[in-house]
Structure 1
Amino acid sequence: MDASTTARRLGRAAALVVAAALAVTACTSGGGGSGDGAAKSEPPRQDSQDINAKPLDQVKDGGEVRFPLYQWITQWNPFQVDGRYGDAVEIMRTLEPDLFTTDASGNFQPVTDYLQEAKVTSTSPQVITYKLNPKAKWSDGKPLSYLDFKADWEASNGKKDGYNIADSAGYELISAVEQGADPTEVKVTFSEPYADWQNLFRPLIPAAGIGTPEDFNQGWVEKIPITAGPLKVGTADKTAQTLSLVPDPAWWGTKPKADRITFRVMSQSATTQAFLNNEIDFATAGTATAYGQLKDSKDAVIRTASPWDEVHISFGQGGALADQKVRQALGRALDRSALIKIANNGVPVEFKPLGNHIIMPNQTGYQDNSGDWAKFDLGAAKKLLDEAGWKEAGSGQPRTKDGKQLELHWVVNDATPQAQLDLATAAAAMWLTAGVKVDLDKVPSNDFFTKYVDPGKFEIASWRNTDSFPLSNALANFRLPVGDNVFNNFSKLGTPEIDALLKKAAGTLDPAEAAKLYNQADAKIWELGHTVELYQRPTVVAARKGLANYGAFGLAGVDYSKVGWEK
């Protein structure tokens, strides 16, 4: 629901289908008030970002930049099921080869420090030829080669026992990885077309680090054995919950600007005071309380952009929720507009209801597929519960069935800001009106994902998914689990029909045709009662004055090597 309860699917530097953006009015930085009187504006254009972009000759050499980290990172392998926490992926794309980044429009651009060229060299079958930068080397001295691509593919295609992978999408369609004309050339052949091939091998992980299931699953726990980026880990103090990145002297590209980038674990709500106390240089300002305190700080600049970022309520698949009609009833019993107003109170950018699980409103191809499933209708909700066999027990009382009360538990991160707790409390009150009692169970923030969300041990939970694009990433979010592997579908709810539509869409090279298939899948996800989408959340952050090349990125990728302080 807030920055402390965020599950980022593939980190910030990802992209959507290459197509023209839907233009909407830009939002200015700063200004506005707090409380109900906060001036609202439209989210920025798709291609906007607000990062105080400066050329490197205008950024000081040296110095420290201090960022919050919302959870201590244990698993650093981004291909492993527990390694997809967003800050981990984002940091790993600085420490390991990030072959492609994205520009402000969300379009993939090759990173020349690693790639001289990468393109489709055959369409039948689809073949991608990568030309590697010959200067690129791992920290163990070995050059990047086809062996690394091959190892990443074989570990992630779902065919090897013991590899607890996060997502096989794309990798399962590769039929061969070979050396090309020379050791700097890599040829990747697909058995079926795959539109989002540029999002594969991001970052590239060294073959030497994932050769066995043990290496893959445990070799990156609390350590990063091999790197190949502009920065490397300076210190990782679990006791102090502090991580620092420093320039790697072996880096062959442009030297990073800052001497040190430090991350300190704290709750989202703690970032406001930490910023005001000059302990960190960046803080979220996306709640009324945070924005109200930060907007007038003499050292703060409010920055906003419109990223792939959504807030939702997810349902589990056990107990009473195994019945689709119960899940559908929960959706019909919610007045989303009232809930959104609670979250939006005092924030200067308007939150609008979201009608799609896959495509954001400022992306080409968006349409509202929620139909009646997210339309507030208490009578319809009660009728669905009647049909599911849950009998009314009087006003304000939970329904009953076979002698049991209809009581569910909503797992809440104990670092959740008050506005989001108010939203959850309001939702629970709405559900009780329909005869469903929902208890809010607070759990420690460090346990929220690892013990509850990631293993799917919840009945109701809410978090933010960010940067879940390109659109093919939707497959991992909503596909049926395979054995114990839930991919990124923590609700564990799905159907073969949804899987088939998402897989077909991922193999459709025409963006318009692909969008049609994604929207068909999305309509089925709404009907399934998997997730009630609430709103797309704009980025609203406070950056310390003078911080260059960092802030609200929208759809663009982060380059930590350029982050520093203005001259």
Structure 2
Amino acid sequence: MAHPRTTARLCAGLAVVLLGLAGCTSGSPAPRATGGTTGVPTTAALPDTAWRAVPRAQVRDGGSLTLSVDALPQTYQLNDPNSSLDLQRISNLYLPSFVRIEADGSWSPNPDYTASLTVRSQDPQVVELRIAPAATWSDGTPLSWRDLAASWQAFNGTSSAYTPASTAVWQDVKSVTRGDDDRDVLITFAKTDADWPALLASVYPAWALDTPAHFASAWKNGPFAADGTTYVSAGPFVVRSIDTNAGVVTLGRNPRWWGDPARLDTVVFRTVSRDSLGQSFANQELDAVDVMGMPDVLTAARARQGTTVEQSGGTVARQLTLNGTAGVFADPAVRKAFAQAVDRTVLAQAVLGQVGAPVQTLGSVIFVPGQKGYADHTGGVLTGSAADARSTLQAAGWTIGQDGVATKGGARLTARFVAPQGAAAVATIAQLVSQQAKAAGFDLSVQTVPGSDFFSSYVTTDKRNFDVTSFAWVAGAFPIATAEAYFYPTDSGSNYGGVTDKTLGGDWDALNAQLDPAKRLTLAADVDKRALDLFTMIPLFVEPSTWVVRSDLANYGPSQFQDVRWQDVGYTG
């Protein structure tokens, strides 16, 4: 499932919310959020999309939109294991997507980039994409079959020289070839894959991926043309500058954009610490702010005049990850006991209740509430019971000592919860989980580490310097395809727990190949339950997307899945 409260791209599941809580976008236009003592809705019936939808003709030309990021990206390659949601938010303005996500979470061809998109054959599965004649990178290079071929080469998982965060869907592709001309793309599958449209979002130019060295370094410091110095774009905006000292990325109108021209002159992404978000918005340094589950941010932001609180359904799924490769959690019985000890309702109330959000625990590691296929599979398993946890430990040979800590063979049941500094929601979760785990026999300490390198130095699969940690996955429009990498194989680049069930590979193959929607969801339910039984990921809750925005801002704000049409974002009045 990982701050695009701007858009849930098809690859959103590959990105993670590293520090706090954030949400994505989806749904149908809805009235501005009002009501409730906190100024946000208090019922569970949240709209899918809550931004103020305004016809393009009513959006004035000009102006600048300033948004926040936690930090500048460590890389501008989305499928790098060190990628982030901040990068996803920024790249949505300049990377092409041949499909777009609609209000209800379905997909359709994106007419800015796609002349036609058809399935030419079912056996073997062959997809034909005809690229729109005007679609061109801003350096003058036409979008072509070579861009998709380079993605397939880099992301299919057959070469160890490439290190993508996920090979989802690409691993099932046999070839990407030229059709009638350079703009005619034929994608032939070795295995049938129902989620094939996921390949066609956030596409990179061939020169950024065509060799392992280019994958690792060509876009390390920015989205560059083949010359390595000029910023390039195939969207309505292009990067103008990246100021690493000030922590600011500035984008302006792309002069070679062929579609409806952008209403805004510039979009600026500015690094702002989480605890300063509300005050920065109140000081008019930001034009929209994602509350991210932090009540202090909501309170400070609402002090500014001429603003509106908006809240939609969300897709950011908060969870606990257990390191199953070392320490006490290498024992599956200990992982199960820890999962039983966590009272998820208490955690959800502590975080969501403070911003007036409906409290609902998450019952799946594939889907989120509101998606077809979602069902709660945690009943009777994640019981939130210290007594159940102690019984599981005792059955595994642990003895609860007089001090309340379990021991086995002279070893105490100790573990370390690694939490990033400056993340209020994670700090709350860590404190409560520590208390709950203690009641079950665990001696769980909390280690707070610098937020700037929390993920790269502690969480990634080549580090795993944690026993327990918490971040969030963002559910995208194709959750089945993206969830596979969280659990299979162990070296997927996104399997941070480091444990798998070897039979899951075949099961996911069957899932991906099943084209009948009802049968596919039945299979997905079984896989969901078995992935939960690994107890390396404990689903907690999904945070609704709560924003405070300028009241004159149009076509941008909180949503669950729906893609932002960036050329239509701007101001009215």
Scaled by the length of structure 2, the TM-score of the pair is 0.90
- Secondary structure at the aligned position of 2:523 is classed as helix
Secondary structure at the aligned position of 2:533 is classed as helix
Distance (whole Å) between structure 1 residues aligned to residue 419 and residue 118 of structure 2: 45
1:264-304 deviations in whole A, cap 9, x for unaligned? 11233321111111110111233333333434542321111
Q: CA deviation at 1:245?
A: 0.9
- Given the alignment of the two structures, is residue 386 of structure 1 paired with residue 394 of structure 2, yes or no? yes
| Secondary structure at 1:537 match in 2 | strand
What aligned pairs does 1:36-185 form with structure 2 within 5 A after superposition?
40-45=42-47, 48-83=48-83, 85-185=84-184
Aligned 8 A contact 2:128 2:185 in 1? yes
- The 1:87–1:99 alpha-carbon spacing in structure 2 relative to 1, beyond 3 Å, is farther
Q: Distance in 1 between matches of 2:121 and 2:46?
A: 38
Query: 1:290 maps to which residue?
Result: 297
Structure 2 residue matching 1:68: 3-state secondary structure: strand
In structure 1, the gaps of 5 or more residues are: 17-22
Q: What residue number does 1:460 align with?
A: 468
Residue 389 of structure 1, CA deviation = 3.1
Matches of residues 421-436 of structure 1 in structure 2 within 5 Å? 421-436=427-442
- Residues 8-46 of structure 1: per-residue CA shift (max 9 Å, x gap): 899722399xxxxxx99x896033224xx986211425x
Letter of the 2:168 counterpart: A
- In the alignment, residue 340 of structure 2 is paired with which amino acid? R
Superimposed CA distance per residue, residues 234-275 of structure 1 (whole angstroms, 9 cap, x where no aligned partner): 111111111111111121222111111011112333211111
- Determine helix, strand or coil for the equivalent of 2:305: coil
Match of 1:283, SS? strand
Deviates more, 1:185-194 or 1:72-81: 72-81
Output the CA distance in 2 between the equivalents of 1:514 and 1:131. Answer: 29
Q: How big is the shift at 1:146?
A: 1.3
Report SS of the residue matched to 1:409: strand
Aligned equivalents of 1:371, 1:392: Cα separation in 2: 26
CA distance in 2, matches of 1:224, 1:38: 38
Q: Distance in 1 between matches of 2:202 and 2:32?
A: 33
Note if 1:559 corresponds to 2:565: yes
Check the 8 A contact 1:66/1:261 in 2, yes or no: yes
Aligned to 1:515, the other structure's residue is in SS state helix
Instruction: Identify the residue that residue 380 of structure 2 maps to in structure 1.
Output: 372
How far apart are the structure 1 equivalents of 2:44 and 2:6?
A: 26
Partner in structure 2 of residue 494 of structure 1:
500
Pick the aligned partner of 1:399 from 402, 406, 410: 406
Q: Deviations along 1:54-80, whole A, 9 cap, x unmatched? A: 122211211110000022202111233
Q: Alpha-carbon deviation of 1:379?
A: 2.1
Range 452-461 or range 542-551, more displaced: 452-461
Q: Is the 8 A contact 2:487 2:500 kept in 1?
A: yes
In 1: Cα distance, 2:198 partner to 2:507 partner: 20
Q: Determine what percentage of the aligned residue pairs are the same residue.
A: 27
5+ long unaligned stretches in structure 2: 13-26, 226-232
Q: Does 1:473 align with 2:479?
A: no
- Contact 2:352–2:543 (CA<8 Å) still a contact in 1? no
Q: Secondary structure at the match of 1:354?
A: coil
For residue 94 of structure 1, report the CA deviation from its aligned partner: 2.1
Alignment correspondent of 1:19: none
Distance 1:514 1:269, change over 3 A: farther
**Quick one: distance in 2 between partners of 1:435 and 1:10?**
42
Please give the alpha-carbon distance, in whole angstroms, between the structure 1 residues aligned to 2:365 and 2:235: 34
Residue of structure 2 equivalent to 1:505: 511
Q: Distance in 2 between the 1:440 and 1:132 partners?
A: 51
Taking structure 1 as the reference length, the TM-score comes to 0.91
Cα deviation per residue 1:178-233 (whole Å; 9 max; x = unaligned)? 22223321111112211111110321111122221111111111121133221111
Single out whichever of 133-142 and 164-173 deviates more from structure 2: 133-142
For residue 209 of structure 1, what is the aligned residue in structure 2? 208
8 Å Cα contact 2:49-2:558 kept in structure 1: yes
Return the letter of the residue paired with 2:103. Answer: A
Equivalent position of 1:310 in the other structure: 317
Change beyond 3 A, Cα 1:394–1:440: same
Give the match for residue 423 of structure 2.
416
Choose the corresponding residue for 1:13, options 4, 9, 24.
9
Matched residue SS, 1:181:
coil
Give the letter aligned to residue 474 of structure 1: A
CA contact (8 A) 1:332 1:372 kept: no
Letter in 2 for 1:361: P
- The answer as to 2:276 corresponding to 1:270 is yes
What RMSD over aligned residues (CA atoms) do the two structures have, in Å? 2.4
Is the 2:5–2:290 Cα contact (8 Å) retained in structure 1?
no
- Are 1:345 and 2:353 an aligned pair? yes
What's 1:198 paired with? Answer: 197
Letter in 1 for 2:421: D
